[in-house]
Structures are given as structure tokens and as C-alpha cells.
């Protein structure tokens, strides 16, 4: 392909379908902007891993939950790591920082190609903000899901809270939810299903390819949301347990003292 080409997800899907149909190419080359050129290597390998975007935010806790379900979980730091991902988790953190890092490391185009090629995405908290196609008072980021969000909708960091709810489609019993300076999903498009409504806002929603939660299941012992996402990605979990024994994630914080 020559010339500049800034495809929509729909165009990328058509292109990938065509390429697969022709069995001619195992790579595509896309000019994503007038300023630079990106070459994607989407090798047609078996997609059997779940990635967690590892640029900023709560990564290890997601990895830990996925591993507890017997899933091969990888920390995704660069564009070359997308070829065998059945799903990708965009973790909680700080959405402005995450999008800046995605752009600095030039990951966004490959992420969109992998998404168009069937990789599912789960956004937790800041990750949900990245997915949204409308952000109140702010610019949109990845634009992959037909939801509107309001950032920092509960107030300051100190207004963060825990609650317990039942999300029938995800788990038969009540689970803990942790909201950390969370956004609210304020509206969803016709192709998006609401999984959890609380008061005046939507806390969890999904469409065919994305799952969005404004809270952090990875900071609770429950494996229910991770299991739900893994199955959405077409992978099998080991069904032995639905909750971790651990209730604190402090040991996952890799804080090392400066050497003397």
C-alpha cells in the first residue's frame, strides 16, 4: 500500500478480512499520519494470551488475577507484542498520561489494527476513558466504544470508595467493587449493553468487542470479571476457584530500597 492512509476501525476490518481471504500478506503497512510511517507486523499466530498494557497504572494486579485463572498473561510495553493477544486490558491509572505514553511509544496504530483483527479490549477506570467515543469536556482518545464518560465524576482521590453489588451477568453472588477517582459512564450507544447501573450512572458496560468497568476488579479478591473477560476473548479458564485468598495487594508493589 502506498500513500497516506488513516483508516477507521471499519476500514481496517475490511482490509484485514481481504488480506486473510487472499492469504497473500502477513503484514500491512499503514501511514498513520502525515508525519511518520508505521509498519505493523501482524503475524497470523495463534491468539492465546491476554495482555495488560504496561505503560502506567495498575498492571501487576491484573496479571496476578489472570494467572490465577490459568491464563498466560503478558505485560505489553511495545507494538511488537500484539500478534498473539486474544485480549488486552487497559489498566486503571491516569488516562492523559496513558494516552501520551501510547503515542510516544507509537503503540496506538498497532493496537487499533489488532482490535480490528479481533482482539478484545477491557478498559478498567482510566482504560474506560481511553475507550470512550465521548468524554465530557475533553478530547476523546482511542474512540473504540460507543460510550460517553465523565472523568473524575465522584470528586477527589479522597472520595474513592468501596461497595458491594451483584452483577448478574458476571457473577452469581455479590462482589466487592473499588472506585478510585473513577469516571462515570453517562450514556451508551445502541450496540452497547449495560452490565451494571448504580444510582444515576453506568458502572459497567460491554459491546461485542469491548468491556468497560469504571471500577477496579483487580484490586479485589474476586476473579469474576477477569473470568468474564477471558471467556469473551474465547479462552478457557481453569474453573477451580472464583476468588483469590489474598485480600491485600501490597506485596505486588515492587518498591526497592536504594542500594547503599
Per the residue annotation, which of 40, 62, 65, 125 is the catalytic one?
A: 125
Site string for ligand GLN, 83-112 (x = CB under 6 A): ---------xxxx-----------------
State the binding string over 133-172 for ligand GLN (x if CB under 6 A, else -).
------------------xx--------------------
Residue 218 annotated as catalytic? yes
- Options 40, 62, 216, 226, the catalytic residue: 216
CA atoms within 13 A on the CB side of 255: 4
* Closest distance of CB 97 from ligand GLN, Å: 8
What are the residues facing 197 on neighbouring strands? Answer: 202
The long-range contacts involving 97-105, CB below 8 angstroms and separated by at least 24 positions, are 97/56, 98/53, 98/55, 98/56, 98/57, 98/126, 98/127, 98/130, 99/130, 99/141, 99/142, 101/55, 101/56, 102/53, 102/55, 102/130, 105/55, 105/77, 105/78, 105/79
Clarify whether 41 is annotated catalytic.
no
Residues 184-243 that bind ligand GLN (CB under 6 A): none
Nearer to ligand GLN among residue 240 and residue 248 (C-beta): 248
Interacting residues toward ligand GLN by CB under 6 A: 92-95, 125-126, 129, 151-152, 180-181
Residue positions annotated with a catalytic role = 125, 216, 218
Amino acid at each position: 500500500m502506498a500513500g497516506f492512509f488513516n483508516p477507521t476501525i471499519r476500514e481496517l476490518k475490511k482490509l484485514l478480512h481481504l488480506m486473510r481471504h487472499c492469504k497473500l500478506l502477513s503484514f500491512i503497512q499503514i501511514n498513520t499520519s502525515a508525519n511518520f510511517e508505521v509498519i505493523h507486523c501482524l503475524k497470523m499466530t495463534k491468539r492465546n494470551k491476554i495482555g495488560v498494557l504496561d505503560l502506567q497504572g495498575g498492571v501487576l494486579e491484573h496479571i496476578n488475577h489472570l494467572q490465577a485463572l490459568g491464563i498466560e498473561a503478558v505485560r505489553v510495553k511495545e507494538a511488537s507484542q500484539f500478534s498473539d493477544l486474544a485480549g488486552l486490558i487497559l489498566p486503571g491509572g491516569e488516562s492523559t498520561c496513558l494516552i501520551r505514553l501510547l503515542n510516544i511509544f507509537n503503540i496506538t496504530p498497532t493496537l487499533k489494527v489488532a482490535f480490528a483483527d479481533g482482539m478484545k479490549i477491557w478498559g478498567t477506570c482510566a482504560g474506560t476513558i481511553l475507550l470512550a467515543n465521548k468524554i465530557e469536556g475533553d478530547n476523546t482518545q482511542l474512540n473504540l466504544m460507543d460510550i460517553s464518560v465523565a472523568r473524575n465524576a465522584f470528586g477527589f482521590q479522597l472520595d474513592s470508595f468501596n461497595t458491594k453489588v451483584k452483577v448478574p451477568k458476571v457473577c452469581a453472588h455479590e462482589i466487592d467493587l473499588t472506585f478510585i477517582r473513577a469516571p462515570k459512564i453517562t450514556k451508551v450507544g445502541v450496540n452497547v449493553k449495560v452490565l451494571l447501573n448504580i444510582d444515576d450512572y453506568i458502572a459497567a458496560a460491554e459491546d461485542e468487542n469491548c468491556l468497560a468497568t469504571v471500577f477496579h476488579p483487580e484490586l479485589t479478591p474476586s476473579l469474576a470479571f477477569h473470568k468474564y473477560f477471558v471467556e469473551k476473548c474465547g479462552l478457557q479458564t481453569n474453573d477451580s476457584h472464583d476468588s483469590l485468598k489474598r485480600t491485600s495487594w501490597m506485596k505486588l508493589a515492587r518498591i526497592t530500597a536504594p542500594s547503599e
